[in-house]
Structure 1
Amino acid sequence: MAGFGYKTSWLAVRDRTPDQVADALDLRDRRVLDWADGTDRAYRHGVYVTASVPGWTLAHGRVHIPAGFDATEPPFADWLTELSRYLGEVQFFANERVPDYHAWARALDGELLRAYCYVGERDEVSLFLGDPTADEIEFDIGIRDREPGWEHWSDEQWDVWFDTTPSESDVMAMAGRWSVDPTMIDDVAVTVTGIYGLPPSVCGE
């Protein structure tokens, strides 16, 4: 197994320790785990905060990043913004092959700079906050929201819009540009342990 990133969600936090990230997420029932065990658990339940890679600490949880909602729902923007008040720069990434759910967002010091989420099952952009970044423009992904009157778009207009909707690999490309592409991390090379725990809303499940 190489890293993580597909069919899951994670945070990338700049220049913070695993303890600081775990504290900001208020993780309970903490355990010290190695990369392989922590990653495996986080795919099923809870959150694994990794040992820092150069400049970044990652917090991975398929179900519980964030806990109780996802990037399509109203609490998401406030949740990420509040985290950034404590942690500085916080980035969020998510992708699920089914139902084709892809998202990325970036907040800094209590300000949400950019957030995008596409849900293919509903053929909609459910989150489009802030201006597209230079990386999105270069990759030609996530740069178009649905404009007023989209219900009457021609086939050509739909094709132009669909061409800018992301795939799983596009989420990894954005992560690599903004911070770290976790699929490129060699599991064997990570020898420092991280922190596994549960957010308060699910502690004791």
Structure 2
Amino acid sequence: MLDLMPVLLMLLFSLALSVGTATIVLVARRARLRPRARRPRQQEPPPVCTHTCFLRRPAAWLAIKSRSLLAVQSALGMRHTKPCPLLQGLAGEEKLFICPPVKGWILVTGSGLPDPSDDVDACFRFLVELSRKLGHVQYFSASHMLYHHAWVRADAGRIVRAYAWAGRTLWRQGERTQAENELGVKCFGYTEPSERSLFGQPDLIAMNVDKVPLLAARWSLDPARLEERALDSERGIAGEPSLRY
């Protein structure tokens, strides 16, 4: 009997050690499988958009020194107005679209704007009247199909600078600006020949068309390159022009 005691004690010790080890393993496994309490995620600040939007450049547009969409809408006498997202408005499907202010400028686009090639006198009257109401107003147009182009600056109801070409010079008024001189645009006289250049020669008329948005960027804004962070809003106003022009 005495000889069996050491053996029994050894068995009991081994059993206790095995049970303890199994318990530790089981507890560790359960702890590993138990879902951990999720830490509250810190809310990240919204990313600041600093890139430039490359938008479709309209065939014609106004740049008005103002921050009031309602003032521009009233001066244009727009009808059937409605809120309109920026990208939809600049897609060219609206008769008139007033872009939200950008760096103190409001752009107006749309097929409802007057075209000097249709009636240069009507375009003159429109810009003079609009400038009387709103102050500083600029007009730009550029057609890569017909090569018609124009740029006009009006202030307080007076045309400061204007040039329009549509097969011939339709309108030339005021002194050349520094930006025009730096860009090297060609402004033909009323009686000066202005036919398209022959193959292999510099095409001054086509170069003028390409430089219209560059001139717009120097005078005010290029509507095809707007900084999203500079926009006061993502919506503008769409509508139809008044019947008076």
In the alignment, what sits opposite 1:163? 204
Any residues of structure 2 matched to 1:14-163 within 5 Å, and which? 14-40=65-91, 43-61=92-110, 63-66=111-114, 70-72=115-117, 73=119, 74-119=121-166, 122=167, 124-147=168-191, 150=193, 163=204
Q: Distance in 1 between matches of 2:129 and 2:67?
A: 16
In the alignment, what sits opposite 2:217? 176
CA contact (8 A) 2:186 2:208 kept: no
**When the two structures are superposed, what TM-score results if normalisation uses the length of structure 1?**
0.79
CA contact (8 A) 2:147 2:206 kept: no
3-state DSSP of counterpart to 2:176: coil
- Indicate whether 1:196 and 2:196 are aligned: no
Question: C-alpha deviations, 1:131-175, integer Å up to 9, x for none?
Answer: 221111121114332446x59xxx9xxx89x63764433010110
3-state DSSP of counterpart to 1:76: helix
Q: Distance in 1 between matches of 2:177 and 2:208?
A: 17
Q: Distance in 1 between matches of 2:133 and 2:67?
A: 10
1:192 CA drift (Å): 2.6
Q: Distance in 1 between matches of 2:190 and 2:152?
A: 18
Q: Distance in 2 between matches of 1:23 and 1:147?
A: 39
Partner AA of 1:10 in structure 2: W
In the alignment, what sits opposite 1:2? 54
Question: C-alpha deviations, 1:8-53, integer Å up to 9, x for none?
Answer: 111000024111111111111111111012222xx13411101100
3-state DSSP of counterpart to 1:135: helix
CA contact (8 A) 2:150 2:164 kept: yes
Gaps of 5+ in 1: none
Q: 1:45 to 1:135 in 2, by over 3 A?
A: same
Of 82-91 and 164-173, more deviation after overlay is shown by: 164-173
Q: Distance in 1 between matches of 2:94 and 2:238?
A: 10
Based on CA coordinates, which of the two structures has the bigger radius of gyration?
Answer: 2
Q: Distance in 1 between matches of 2:73 and 2:186?
A: 30
Partner AA of 2:98 in structure 1: V
Count of aligned pairs: 185
More relative contact order, 1 or 2 (CA 8 Å, 6+ apart): 1
Partner AA of 2:236 in structure 1: G
1:86 CA drift (Å): 0.3
Identity across matched positions, percent: 28
Q: Distance in 2 between matches of 1:83 and 1:166?
A: 29
Partner AA of 1:135 in structure 2: A
CA contact (8 A) 1:132 1:142 kept: no
Gaps of 5+ in 2: 1-52
Of 162-171 and 87-96, more deviation after overlay is shown by: 162-171
